[in-house]
Amino acid sequence: MSKKFWKLGATAAAGLLIAGSALAQSGVSFKDPANDDNGPGSYTYPTDGVYKRGSFDMTAFDVKVSGKKVDFAVTFNTALEDPWRMGGGFSVQMVFIAIRTGAEGGFKDGPPGTNVTFADGNEWNKMVILSPQGPGKVKSEVDAKMAAAQGGAVIIPTRVKGAGRTISASVDLDQLGGGDPSQWGYQVLVQSNEGFPDGKDLLTRKVNEYEGQHRFGGGTDSDCDPHVIDILAGNGTGAADEAQMQHDMLKYECNPDGSRKSGAALKMVSAKK
């Protein structure tokens, strides 16, 4: 092939790159330590072969503002796969992005099935759900399983994409109430997409005492344990001690009857001022 062809190709590629980077105007990025995909420290993956090492190990969370859009991206410690042919480039992951914008108030309870609460002053008032299920399915689950006020604060992106190691989606800044997302607080709950969820669970996979083919292990058979596998902690820098902070945040105790004695109280993570 001619030199002209290659020159043209290189110029076009460079142009695309510049155009791509120019789209990202502002935002905030967080890191999360690798290998802390064990909830409060004891959780283990289901035994089916589709749950590959690192599938629920979040390593980065990025928020970028592009014009009137806000792009969310969650990166994992393994290449994404789509073994269940969901069509979006990933299958087993499910991510809840809890946001505390500048607005007052919010919700202390996490999404149904996660069994987490948010600490005082860390309530969420917007939540973006990144699911491989279609938006219609997610919306019907939200309508059926979340209180109306909570459900009204949930934003379901029209499309969620998995590529490489990253799950990403965009929503309108207006849907988030406007403002500057770089100043907000965030918490990211990593769960697993469950096509056959328990009656009250919002497409989430259970954590049991022992891992099963499609259930996480290392928790309890009752619902007093937090059903999240990885979250942000500390300042979201990815420092090694953030794994311990995560374990502390997700620490729980159960009563003999299986009800919760004390449980996870999550804190938001925000950009260091």
Partner 1 sequence: MRFSRGFAIGLLASAAALASMPALAVDGQTMIITGEDYTKWLWGNQHTDGSVYNFTTVPGEGYGDNGQGTEIDLLISSHPSKNIEVTGRLQSRFNQNQWTNYAGFGGRNPALENPPNGECLGGDCGEFDPRSNEYIKIRGLTARFTPGFKWLDAATIGSTDLGMFDPYTIGKIRYIDRDNAKAILFQGPLGSRQLTYDLIRVSLPRLFAGPNFNTGDYAGQDGAYGLQLKFNPSSFFDIVGVYDRVRDVEVSAKDTGNNGGDDGRDLDSRFKNDVYGGRFGIHPSSKFDFRGLYYYSTAESNPKFGTPTGFGLSGFSPALAGEVSDPLYKANVDLNDPFGIGLSFNIEYFNIGAQYSSILAARREVDVLLTEGHDGAFVFPGPDNSAFGVFAGNPTRIGYGGWEGPAQQVATISVDNEFTDFEEPMAETVIGWKGITVAPNWTIGDLDLSGEYSHIGYNTNWQAWGDTSRGITDSIYPNFESDAGVNSFRNAYAPFQDKKTDIAILRGKYLLNVGKGVDVFGKIKLIKETDNRLNEARFLPYQPGDCPGGGVACSNNAQNFSPGHSTADLYGNPPVITVNGVTGYQWKPFNSLSDDDRDLDYKLFQLGAGYQVTGNLYSSLTYERYNVDLQDGNTAFQAYNLHSMSSGQNDKNKLILYAHYTFGAAEFGANYEYNWGTFDPDFGGGFVTQFADANIARDYGVPVGSPGFKGRFGGWNSLDKRDFKQHRLKVFMKVRF
Residues 6+ away with beta carbon under 8 Å from 25? 64, 65, 66, 67
Do the beta carbons of residue 106 and residue 120 sit within 8 Å? no
Minimal CA–CA distance to 70: which of 203, 171, 188? 171
Please report, as residue ranges, which positions from 66 to 125 form the binding site for partner 1 (by CB under 8 A).
Answer: 77-79, 83, 85
> What DSSP string describes 26-37?
EEEEEE--TT--
Binding-site member from 11, 25, 26, 158 for partner 1 (CB under 8 A): 158
Stretch that binds partner 1, among 123-131, 204-212, 227-235, 242-250 (CB under 8 A): 204-212
Binding-site member from 17, 119, 147, 240 for partner 1 (CB under 8 A): 17
20 is a site residue for partner 1 (CB under 8 A):
yes
> Of the two residues 20 and 105, which places its CB atom closer to partner 1 in the complex?
20
Binding-site member from 26, 183, 213, 255 for partner 1 (CB under 8 A): 213
**Least distance in Å: CB of 208 to partner 1?**
8
> Of the two residues 68 and 183, which places its CB atom closer to partner 1 in the complex?
68
Residues 6+ away with beta carbon under 8 Å from 137? 131, 203
151 is a site residue for partner 1 (CB under 8 A):
no
Binding-site member from 9, 121, 164, 179 for partner 1 (CB under 8 A): 164
Binding mask 178-197 for partner 1 (x = CB under 8 A): ------------------x-
**Least distance in Å: CB of 56 to partner 1?**
14
**Least distance in Å: CB of 99 to partner 1?**
21
Residue listed under structure tokens 């503002």: 65
Handedness of CA 18, 90, 159, 226 (dihedral sign): negative
Q: SS3 sequence, 152-196? A: HCEECCCCEEEECCEEEEEEEHHHHCCCCHHHCEEEEEEEEECCC
25 is a site residue for partner 1 (CB under 8 A):
no
38 is a site residue for partner 1 (CB under 8 A):
no
> Of the two residues 6 and 119, which places its CB atom closer to partner 1 in the complex?
6
Which residues are registered as beta bridge partners of 269? 186
**Least distance in Å: CB of 117 to partner 1?**
25
148 is a site residue for partner 1 (CB under 8 A):
no
Amino acid at 106: G
Minimal CA–CA distance to 214: which of 34, 91, 124? 91
Stretch that binds partner 1, among 104-112, 128-136, 228-236, 242-250 (CB under 8 A): 128-136
Question: What's the Cα-to-Cα distance from 266 to each of 132, 188, 248, rounded to whole Å?
Answer: 25, 10, 10
Minimal CA–CA distance to 228: which of 120, 146, 115? 115
Binding site for partner 1 (CB under 8 A): 16-17, 19-20, 23, 34-35, 44, 47-50, 53-54, 59, 77-79, 83, 85, 134-137, 139-140, 144, 156, 158-159, 161, 163-166, 196, 199, 209-213, 217, 221, 257
